Chains A and B, each alone.
Chain A
């Protein structure tokens, strides 16, 4: 017997195609329109750079320190409605809790700076570890928002 195409397969394929096109167009319109994309945990680094550290000259190994985290938008992109959830950590401080910061909209090359205070407790360890105190690691947990070409 020769293989034949059933009517059900033809109907299914074209019904599926029409349904899928409707869903795709609706998705694109709902998520900011054409030429605008959604930021997520996997793609945020294409248009955002995150830096963090302790304000210069203010390092106090036994007390409060002014720290910062900076989100910079790449020159080729602009972002809007950005919200970042991250964990800042340093083994000598009280950091480590999950924080959420609303960055909002950034143009090409623009930076959003978020300041916070961290309490350091350098009671143990070698003094050579002091440099390790200057380092704050940032772990990005979630990113939401939109990005488009500048």
Chain B
């Protein structure tokens, strides 16, 4: 059970369910514009993808950085991303996810 809850796919599904539920609440229970709610849901979906695949994104980033900026491209295996590089993607996408909750909080207070 503990390993199940730590599975990255399970984390992504939890985030997806929460973001969709937030969009429904924003549309039906607050005076938020439907377009704003849908726009934020699209942003949240992209953030969930980036959060889930942050390791791959960081690795791709290393490869592309090497291709564009180094005279001699890194060899296979040297493109392993650092923990900070992966965390950078997770923090960025996490902020977008939390932003949706804060927008909901603001509209909740506009009674």
Enumerate chain A interface residues (CB-CB to B < 8 A). 1, 3, 5-6, 8-10, 12-14, 16-17, 19-21, 23-24, 26-28, 30-32, 37-43, 144
- A16 and B105 CA atoms in complex are apart in Å by 13
Shortest distance between the CB of A2 and any CB in chain B (Å):
9
Chain B residues near A30 (CB, 8 Å)?
108-109, 111
Partner of A20, one of B35, B94, B101: B101
Partner of A37, one of B7, B28, B98, B101: B28
CB-CB nearest in chain B for A24: B25
Per the 8 Å Cβ criterion, residues 17-33 of B in contact with A are 18, 21-22, 25, 27-33
CB-CB nearest in chain A for B25: A24
Q: How many residues of B contact A (CB 8 A)?
A: 38
Asked if B75 CB lies within 8 Å of chain A CBs, one says no
Shortest distance between the CB of B62 and any CB in chain A (Å):
12
Would B7 and A13 count as touching, CB distance under 8 A? no
CB-CB nearest in chain A for B83: A6
Asked if B46 CB lies within 8 Å of chain A CBs, one says no
Would B108 and A16 count as touching, CB distance under 8 A? no
Chain A residues near B56 (CB, 8 Å)?
3
Per the 8 Å Cβ criterion, residues 55-111 of B in contact with A are 55-56, 80, 83, 86-87, 90, 94, 97-98, 101, 104-105, 107-109, 111
